Structure 1
Amino acid sequence: MYKSGQRQHAYDNKDISLVENNGLLRYPSALNFYDRPPQFDVTVEEFETTAMDRLRVLAEIESSLARNRTWEELKTATYNQYMKYVPLHTNTYDDTEEERRKDHLGHYVLRLAFCRSEDLRRRFVKAELTLFRVRYEETEAMDREHFLSSRDFNWIPVTKEEKVQYNHGLYSMYHAFRHEQDRADAFEKEKFYKVKWTRVPDLVEKRKVFLKGGWAYVPGREQSSIVFKEFEVELERALETTARLIPRLDEDSRLIPVLDNLSQGFVAGVASEWTNATEPGSSGEIRAEMVDDLAKKHFPMCMRSLHENLRRDNHLKHFGRLQYGLFLKVLGLSVEEAIAFWRKSFSRVTDDKFNKEYRYNIRHSYGLEGKRANYPAKSCLQILTPGPSDVGCPYRHFSSENLQTALLSMYSQQGLKSADLPEIMATVDAGHYHVACTRVFEMTHAPHGVAKGEGIGGGESVTHPNQYAARSMELAKVKNEDDKMVE
């Protein structure tokens, strides 16, 4: 994004100049190889929010890949996610230019965030390539042809004479047709393109091309493989170039924390925040005596572990209290009920000590003391990447043996079996902790009609402990109402 000699040192208080402002670029197609950097000014806020929206899409792609979804399932989930956060419409849409500007900017910001290690670059390329493939397939044929004609992919159209010369070899690739006439008709209409075989290793592996003299003869129906490979190679090269230039950004103290936060979100596998998680728990719907039962039936492992530690020790350290207390607040525990809950939980503490050391902190977390801020509950991203004194995510921070023991201890009564553990542990070992949590949700809520791949609804993965608990409670409420109707 920054070019040598073009970095600006005299920023104003709001704007970041990505490159010299030469006016807005035009985006003739929804498909983009992102080979020209953005040439417009953006605010620091837009710099971050645009990247976060795109990261939500890439995180969903990673989740889908980790959950071994079929291509059609992955495509549907990805399409829904990007149309929600980074929508791209056809050229007839009114805000096409603005949509594509946001798409362009978000991609380049994430390049900065994920160019700094080989693992991040590999994951970023894989997710971006998948997003490009989905968009390519969803783009209308006319727009797709316009995009292909706008770039030089360095392929050589096969002439009619060459098609006749290698008729036997080219025709042999049409074995999938049931009827010979259909096969002959398809072959007659097909256009072929010639590229070096190293550009289409996937087609070579699947024997979908004819090879001759180091050239691969690619049928038109497989033309997209050339496009996808070109996208992948160019993005890998661009990321390596960006990695060499990234130290020049160190002088801008506003950007580095943003980029660090984005890359941490990708490492954790989570980008999105639960949108309902900022409301204070002032509804009073949950009473102190209900928490034990709710924990056993509806809490995610991180919060259930804290609850069991509290019940075992009659105490939690400061950061444990903070994390669990904010979770309960957002779940619906009022400040009065929270004080009652913690007072009963700290049964070994005298009334005087409780009032002096704990009551103030409880009221403070509800915005009733101190600066009176409404503190939100911690998201999965924050729990997955804790500080040295924070309480972390069991899927990430428990040993393999302890995690499996804890899972069976906590969730066997909800249907989790020993036979389910290998699948859960495979996602944990791959670093997809939120996917493991989502699979546990699906397995333990199968009696409520939750199918594999459905997640917490619409295929979405768990991104917030309160999201997990709220959805679990909602499913239980629906089931209870259905049972009453049957009676």
Structure 2
Amino acid sequence: MFNARDRRSFKTEDAGDSKPESQKLNFYDRPPRHDVTLEEFEICALNRLRILAEIESSLARNRSWEEMKTQTTQQCKNYLPLDTEEDRKQDHVSHYVLRLAFCRSEDLRRRFIKAEGILFRTRFDEVLKADREQLLDSQRLHWLKVEETEKQNHRNELYSLYPPIKPEDVRNTSFNRDTYYKVRWTRVPDLIEKRKVFLSGGWAYVPGREQSSIIFQEFEDRLARALELTARSLPRLDEDSRLVPILDNLSNGFVAGVSSEWSSSTEGKNGEITAEMVDHHARNDFPMCMRTLHEQLRKDHHLKHFGRLQYGLFLKVLGLPIEESIVFWRKSFDRITDDKFNKEYKYNIRHSFGLEGKRANYPAKSCQQILSPGPSEHGCPYRHYSPENLQTALLANYSSQGLTSADLPEVVALVKSGHFHVACTRVFEITHASCGIKKGDGVGGFESVTHPNQYAARSIELRKGDIKKEGT
């Protein structure tokens, strides 16, 4: 917990006395007014980012609306439920924190609006009718109810779009009772595209059953305007060295997804790995970033410092214990003497396990960290290889596991659109089809790859199950 000096308050002069967190559906038109600690600031935002990153992944993978809604609903239950007022406060804060993170470029704003729009639509479909009515009562949506006389004047046009239950009678009570709203045609582009509304004099006549489209479009339009205003105010935050790094980390989360909780608590999840097993797992279970490091190690009998650190921590978390790690690296560095190895490398291996120095148990690098490497560090092949080199490397590494040249256009298209972790996930699905993984399954539970250890551990788990089936 931080003291008063470490707190930041969101305030607005015209917010009124009502509490936005009192309702489940929120247009986020008034900022939170309570104090927020830096810890809450970051945790709330990360929880929301997990949901939005999964929505982006679903869009990139062309999942159906029902699949996306099911996955989004489950993610909301896990990370941002709306059951209590405290839950809704966190939801409210998380939205405003991500506004700060994603207002800084046109591309980030566009992606944020799209993902937030889908999240809002999912919640709108899931909540009770009373929650929807509470939202509508609290908003001015500027639509006009079509009077009966005007409706009858356009009955043929309206009827052609939405016929009543009895087609032979355009004047039956079902038609007359139907409610229509008039809005400016620019507010319902999705309905116009689908030819679901009648247009006249710049007005779109929207039936009550399509009312939600007006609400969804209004939500996105307001958010777009709010993000532009936030972007103009953002330079004032540059003086606060605590917030800017948090916001930078959050905005990078859309590129790589939010990392799974792979920490020291997950080490050895699939059982202990020996030095002799690493070659086998590298050929069959490693993502391309780690395969690349392994192949470089085998070719040169050496890796530079950052390569050793990245690959060594990956193997540690995967289940290679300290004794086997020393054996593995000694055999890999077979062109140097024992004395040189002990003096120059053994200490660093022990240090990464928390046995030397400050004795910290270092975690393995996530996809987000690998996607944005520092000087001399090894990055993500999907991001840093040219399309030609990437395709060559994919076939060289994964053709024996079922990946063919016919799969490459889909993977490259994902890379070109900036969805690097989704491209890696698609390769995982293709190369594990023999284990029962289908397109859209991800690494399990529809999750995308967000960490090299997540990829490798899931692969080992699947192949163990496949071996057991063959033995029965």
| TM bucket, shorter chain | over 0.9
- 1:386–1:188 CA distance, 2 compared to 1 (3 A): same
- 1:368–1:283 CA distance, 2 compared to 1 (3 A): farther
* Paired amino acid for 1:97: E
* Paired amino acid for 1:106: S
- 1:330–1:177 CA distance, 2 compared to 1 (3 A): farther
In structure 1, distance between residues paired with 2:230 and 2:414: 31
- 1:20–1:196 CA distance, 2 compared to 1 (3 A): closer
Q: Which residue of 2 aligns with 1:333?
A: 320
| SS, match of residue 27 in structure 1 | helix
Q: How do 1:39-188 and structure 2 match up within 5 A?
A: 39-89=33-83, 96-174=84-162, 187-188=175-176
In structure 2, distance between residues paired with 1:119 and 1:181: 50
- 1:222–1:410 CA distance, 2 compared to 1 (3 A): same
**Kept after mapping to 2: 8 A contact 1:282/1:329:** no
Deviates more, 1:99-108 or 1:70-79: 70-79
* Paired amino acid for 2:303: L
Q: Which residue of 2 aligns with 1:229?
A: 217
- 1:140–1:397 CA distance, 2 compared to 1 (3 A): same
Q: Which residue of 1 aligns with 2:203?
A: 215
Q: Which residue of 2 aligns with 1:18?
A: 10
Structure 1 residue 183 displacement after superposition: 11
| SS, match of residue 21 in structure 2 | coil
In structure 2, distance between residues paired with 1:347 and 1:56: 43
Long gaps (5+) in structure 2: none
Deviates more, 1:40-49 or 1:14-23: 14-23
Matched, 1:316 2:303: yes
| SS, match of residue 53 in structure 2 | helix
Structure 1 residue 448 displacement after superposition: 0.3
* Paired amino acid for 2:101: A
In structure 2, distance between residues paired with 1:295 and 1:12: 50
| SS, match of residue 46 in structure 1 | helix
**Kept after mapping to 1: 8 A contact 2:52/2:115:** yes
In structure 1, distance between residues paired with 2:304 and 2:31: 48
Q: Which residue of 1 aligns with 2:330?
A: 343
In structure 1, distance between residues paired with 2:173 and 2:67: 32
Q: Which residue of 1 aligns with 2:457?
A: 470
**Kept after mapping to 2: 8 A contact 1:280/1:366:** no
Q: Which residue of 2 aligns with 1:3?
A: none
**Kept after mapping to 2: 8 A contact 1:26/1:97:** no
In structure 2, distance between residues paired with 1:185 and 1:339: 82
Q: How do 1:186-205 and structure 2 match up within 5 A?
A: 187-205=175-193
1:388 is aligned, of 375, 398, 416, to 375
- 1:427–1:406 CA distance, 2 compared to 1 (3 A): same
* Paired amino acid for 1:286: I
1:328-380 deviations in Å (ceiling 9; x for gaps): 00011010100000000011111111001100000000000000000000011
| SS, match of residue 420 in structure 1 | helix
1:384-433 deviations in Å (ceiling 9; x for gaps): 11112211001001111111001001001100011000000000000000
* Paired amino acid for 1:288: A
Q: Which residue of 2 aligns with 1:273?
A: 260
* Paired amino acid for 2:10: L
| SS, match of residue 194 in structure 1 | strand
TM score, norm. by length of structure 2: 0.95
**Kept after mapping to 1: 8 A contact 2:262/2:451:** no
1:408 is aligned, of 380, 395, 401, to 395
1:246-275 deviations in Å (ceiling 9; x for gaps): 111112111111111111222x23123334
1:303 is aligned, of 245, 269, 290, to 290
- 1:410–1:179 CA distance, 2 compared to 1 (3 A): farther
- 1:374–1:208 CA distance, 2 compared to 1 (3 A): same
**Kept after mapping to 2: 8 A contact 1:195/1:215:** yes
In structure 2, distance between residues paired with 1:386 and 1:208: 49
Structure 1 residue 18 displacement after superposition: 2.8
Matched, 1:292 2:279: yes
In structure 2, distance between residues paired with 1:409 and 1:160: 69
**Kept after mapping to 2: 8 A contact 1:283/1:334:** no
**Kept after mapping to 2: 8 A contact 1:281/1:328:** no
* Paired amino acid for 2:11: V
**Kept after mapping to 2: 8 A contact 1:278/1:375:** no
- 1:25–1:175 CA distance, 2 compared to 1 (3 A): closer
1:141-170 deviations in Å (ceiling 9; x for gaps): 222122112211100011112111211111
In structure 1, distance between residues paired with 2:110 and 2:265: 34
TM score, norm. by length of structure 1: 0.92
Deviates more, 1:331-340 or 1:252-261: 252-261
**Kept after mapping to 1: 8 A contact 2:42/2:246:** yes
* Paired amino acid for 2:349: I
Deviates more, 1:380-389 or 1:360-369: 380-389
In structure 1, distance between residues paired with 2:446 and 2:38: 32
In structure 2, distance between residues paired with 1:277 and 1:24: 45
In structure 2, distance between residues paired with 1:366 and 1:282: 16
Structure 1 residue 19 displacement after superposition: 2.9
**Kept after mapping to 2: 8 A contact 1:20/1:40:** no
**Kept after mapping to 1: 8 A contact 2:269/2:318:** no
2:340 is aligned, of 353, 356, 368, to 353
- 1:45–1:192 CA distance, 2 compared to 1 (3 A): same
- 1:247–1:278 CA distance, 2 compared to 1 (3 A): farther
Structure 1 residue 319 displacement after superposition: 0.6
In structure 2, distance between residues paired with 1:217 and 1:283: 59
